Amino acid sequence: MQHYFEGKKVLITGASSGIGKALAIALSKFNTELVLASRNTNALEQVAAQCHSKAQVTVAELDLSARANHQAFVHKFEGFDLVFHNAGISQRSLVAETIFDVDHKLMEVNYLGTVHLTKLLMPAMLQQGGGHFIVVTSLTGLIPTPYRSSYAASKHALHGFFDSMRAELESQGIHITLAAPGFVQTNVSVNALIGDGSALGKMDHAQANGITAEHCADQILKATAKKKRLQLIGRESYAVWVRRFFPSLFARLIKKAKVR
């Protein structure tokens, strides 16, 4: 695994906490050039301080929803070998209780912002002969989940876009790995939006009992080094297969799933 990452220039979005932070610290053990991006530069500086001295680490402010600023970011840092699309926000609300602004916000950040940044980064990758996009989605991007309608839509959209992009560009050296974790012990539920657009402000029971961010990051990196197209992560991944082979059973089970 180490050989694949040695000497690579790497971008990690959402690197200020959770899975992004764990990816940054793990990758810093190799001779990599890391660009850690997030809206919270103070938190990024703290992550950078925890990174191994082998890596050259730069922090940069990046808001996926502020697409007007993406071009300047790419102009400053382009030439990445690996891009970890990890930034995003989640949701905890019923469809009937969710205002449209929440639907729009989740698509703006999770899907449109990621796609926009990808399209700006792609020309340099093609010019240098290839690269690798690693997209941290969610099992919710493969299966419907209560209280996650807008989030599920944004993650399903990522799978559709990047699977299609792979079909077009893999022959030109652009590799794409979609990593779909289940519950991970991060602040994703704390920052998740509820129906009125405010933050939930607390940790889900299911989230608190998930795998660690470090374990998740390790699985993502192993899948990346193998250039896997899809990596399911976590105990909940069995649900993907239940839905595929036993759709009626899945439909009954998901109504009772403890997702909060």
- Mean pLDDT score, 86-101: 97
Residue 258 has pLDDT above 80, yes or no: no
- Mean pLDDT score, 24-38: 96
Distances 40 to 12, 48, 134, 171 between C-alpha atoms, Å:
13, 12, 22, 37
| Catalytic-labelled residue, pool 4, 111, 147, 151 | 151
Domains of the chain: 2-256 (3.40.50.720)
Percentage of the chain modeled with pLDDT above 70? 100
pLDDT in tens, 150-181: 999 999 999 999 999 999 999 999 999 999 99
For the entire predicted model, the pTM comes to 0.96
Euclidean distance between CA atoms 103 and 89, whole angstroms: 11
Euclidean distance between CA atoms 63 and 68, whole angstroms: 10
- Per-residue model confidence (pLDDT) at position 54: 86
Distances 92 to 102, 177, 210 between C-alpha atoms, Å:
11, 27, 17
Confidence bin at 78 (pLDDT 50/70/90): confident
Euclidean distance between CA atoms 33 and 79, whole angstroms: 11
- The yes-or-no answer on residue 151 being catalytic is yes
Long-range interactions of 122-130: CB distance < 8 A, separation 24+: 122/169, 122/174, 124/74, 124/78, 124/79, 124/80, 125/80, 125/173, 125/174, 126/169, 126/172, 126/173, 126/174, 128/79, 128/81, 129/173, 130/172, 130/173, 130/174, 130/175
pLDDT in tens, 184-234: 999 999 999 999 999 999 988 888 889 999 999 999 999 999 999 999 999
Of the candidate ranges 4-8, 201-205, 220-224, 243-247, the one whose mean pLDDT is the lowest: 201-205
